[in-house]
């Protein structure tokens, strides 16, 4: 199985990967949703017909097609049909509204725009008309369809830019990230090979398919020939029936998803919340070591966490057979072909074990941004992508992330890692989740502010109680929080539920 997957990973294009998998296992399922099942063979045939329908609408190789669609079988089919044509795709997260969507349409110069119509109470078609989008068509239950006889040959070049993904755009406009079929295949291969999966597994997509994790995960299905359950709207405990019904063995998404599964497990101690589950896996946000230990201890499953971003969909990934210490405290190892360089402030390399800025070079790295000036600023003279993340590489090759450069709090001239404090806060029995930010302070430059969610039923948290606990855990006095905010819920994005620290700074900075 592994040899076959490695061979498939050499495919030049995503469409070639679809064809090769369909030839190998045409009758095996690839996508499951409710009562519906799509096999690998049906995926190829359906995509050919949809590609012909799109061609009849005027979509050609190189046409820019934006789509803002939920996680549905039809969305995957449309995306692979566009890959069959060699169109340039611009996926847009379905929760985005006029500002972000309008920006993506303008910057990508989209010639067509696929929308779901009215979805979850919002009229996407009306928004598209309001924004003056070109070539608007609805692609929710029905897709364009035609006989595939007149289709042009599929693309053979996997290194041309055919994907424009969008960064989340926190306090400024999003950036259009340029990817190729090969960069997406490389990212998905890293995930697939690290997790040691097989055709007997059943995965799950609980995140937006329009996120960079969409192709990451789908490439993994194509390489190893197993299916995944798609969730158009993910919420627990409602989604548990689908996990159980389809016998999901691999779930996850990000740290917030692990915490949600843990919360459900704690309602039924001693009884596995998903009987078939053996592995939680994900990335996209920091993972405190205590979350790893709690999942293994309370859910009785393994947890592997990785490191990725829109610019590089998969950089490192933990392996299920690694040590507990490495799985709890690192982001795993990079695959062959992914170079990680840790640099000092001047851009020079630092030795193993020494913190510095993380820079990346390899096939999974994007080609840059739509804006050439942004591309120039993000790559160094050796072609390494400058991530803005801080960390170090162990002599074993494992990557340890210790924060973001912008998350380093400078208090009285001393650098303080927000992540170090967050990891310790997660071990507090009354803390459900936590984020630490630096806030402006006229005397100290910045003060350390801890923002926490309380666990249900826990006693009230106080600043004195929290700092006393952190001192007991060995945290240096100069790193102790000087302010504590207890909130019902930390602000998060709608994709992988990552905490949005900029919103905390906006909310608390002037208080």
Binned at pLDDT 50, 70 and 90, residue 4 comes out as confident
> What is the tens place of the pLDDT at every residue in 389-406?
999 999 999 999 988 787
Binned at pLDDT 50, 70 and 90, residue 1 comes out as low
Q: Which of 105, 160, 155 is nearest to 133 (CA)?
A: 105
Q: What is the 3-state secondary structure (H, E, C) of 366-429?
A: CCEECCHHHHHHHECCCCCEEEEEEEEECCCCCEEEEEEHHHEEEECCEEEEHHHHHHHHCCCC
Binned at pLDDT 50, 70 and 90, residue 99 comes out as confident
**pLDDT score at 19:** 98
**pLDDT score at 265:** 96
Binned at pLDDT 50, 70 and 90, residue 26 comes out as very high
Q: Distance (Å, rounded) from C-alpha 492 to C-alpha 504? A: 10
**pLDDT score at 62:** 98
- Within 13 Å and on the Cβ side, how many CA atoms surround 261? 33
pLDDT, the chain, mean: 92
**Token digits of residue 102:** 């309008």
Do residues 116 and 70 lie in contact, with contact meaning Cβ atoms separated by under 8 Å?
A: yes
> What is the tens place of the pLDDT at every residue in 152-180?
999 999 999 999 999 875 446 789 999 99
Q: Which CATH architecture has domain 235-404?
A: 3-Layer(aba) Sandwich (3.40)
> What is the tens place of the pLDDT at every residue in 426-484?
999 999 989 888 888 777 778 899 999 998 888 889 999 999 999 898 887 888 999 99
The structure tokens 């820079």 sit at 359
**Token digits of residue 383:** 């072609």
- Range in 52-66, 120-134, 181-195, 411-425 with the lowest mean pLDDT: 411-425
**Token digits of residue 299:** 């859910």
Q: Where are the domains of the chain?
A: 2-174, 235-404, 412-508
Does the structure show a pLDDT above 70 at 27? Answer: yes
- Range in 17-26, 61-70, 97-106, 251-260 with the lowest mean pLDDT: 251-260
Does the structure show a pLDDT above 60 at 490? Answer: yes
**Farthest-apart Cα atoms in the chain, separation:** 73
Fold annotation for 2-174: Rossmann fold (3.40.50)
Does the structure show a pLDDT above 60 at 312? Answer: yes
Does the structure show a pLDDT above 50 at 511? Answer: no
> What is the tens place of the pLDDT at every residue in 341-383?
999 988 999 999 999 999 999 999 999 999 999 999 999 999 9
- The radius of gyration of the chain from alpha carbons, rounded to an integer in Å, stands at 23
Domain 412-508 carries which CATH code? 3.30.300.30
2-174 against 412-508: fold identical:
no
Q: Distance (Å, rounded) from C-alpha 424 to C-alpha 428? A: 7
């Amino acid at each position: 199985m592994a040899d076959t997957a490695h061979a498939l990973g050499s495919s030049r294009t995503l469409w070639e990967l679809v064809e090769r998998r369909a030839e190998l296992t045409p009758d095996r399922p690839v996508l499951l949703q409710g009562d519906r099942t799509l096999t690998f063979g049906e995926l190829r045939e359906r995509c050919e017909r949809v590609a012909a329908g799109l061609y009849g609408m005027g979509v050609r190789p190189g046409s820019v097609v934006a789509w803002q669609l939920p996680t549905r079988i039809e969305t995957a089919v449309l995306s692979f049909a566009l890959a069959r044509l060699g169109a340039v795709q611009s996926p847009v997260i379905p929760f985005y509204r006029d500002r972000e969507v309008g920006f993506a349409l303008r910057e990508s110069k989209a010639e067509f725009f696929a929308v779901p119509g009215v979805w979850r109470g919002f009229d996407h078609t009306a928004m598209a008309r309001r924004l003056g989008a070109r070539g608007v068509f609805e692609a929710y239950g029905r897709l364009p369809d035609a006989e595939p006889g007149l289709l042009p040959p599929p693309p053979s070049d996997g290194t041309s830019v055919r994907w424009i993904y969008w960064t989340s755009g926190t306090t400024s406009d999003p950036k259009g990230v340029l990817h190729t079929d090969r960069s997406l295949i490389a990212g998905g291969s890293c995930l697939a090979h690290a997790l040691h999966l097989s055709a007997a597994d059943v995965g799950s997509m609980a995140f937006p398919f329009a996120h960079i994790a969409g192709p990451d995960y789908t490439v993994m299905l194509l390489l190893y020939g197993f299916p995944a359950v798609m969730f158009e709207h993910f919420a627990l405990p409602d989604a548990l029936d689908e996990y159980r019904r389809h016998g999901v063995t691999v779930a996850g998404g990000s740290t917030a998803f692990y915490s949600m599964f843990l919360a459900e497990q704690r309602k039924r101690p001693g009884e596995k919340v998903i009987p078939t589950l053996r592995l939680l896996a994900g990335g996209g946000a920091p993972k405190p070591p205590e979350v790893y230990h709690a999942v293994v201890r309370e859910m009785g499953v393994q947890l592997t966490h990785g490191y990725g971003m829109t610019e590089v969909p998969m950089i490192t990934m933990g392996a299920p057979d690694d040590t507990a210490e490495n799985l709890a405290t690192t982001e795993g190892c990079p695959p062959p072909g992914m170079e990680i360089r840790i640099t000092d402030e001047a851009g020079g390399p630092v030795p193993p074990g020494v913190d510095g800025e993380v820079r990346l070079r390899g096939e999974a790295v994007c080609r840059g941004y739509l804006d050439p000036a942004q591309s120039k600023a993000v790559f160094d003279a050796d072609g390494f992508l400058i991530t803005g993340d801080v960390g170090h590489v162990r002599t074993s090759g494992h990557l340890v992330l210790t924060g973001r450069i912008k998350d380093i709090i400078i208090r009285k001239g001393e650098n303080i890692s927000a992540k170090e404090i967050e990891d310790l806060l997660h071990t507090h029995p009354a803390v459900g989740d936590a984020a630490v930010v630096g806030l402006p302070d006229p005397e100290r430059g910045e003060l350390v502010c801890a923002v926490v969610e309380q666990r249900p039923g826990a006693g009230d948290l106080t600043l004195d109680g929290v700092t006393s606990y952190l001192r007991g855990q060995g945290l240096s006095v100069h790193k102790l929080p000087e302010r504590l905010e207890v909130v019902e819920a930390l602000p998060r994005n709608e994709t992988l539920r990552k905490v949005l620290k900029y919103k905390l700074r906006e909310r608390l900075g002037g208080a």
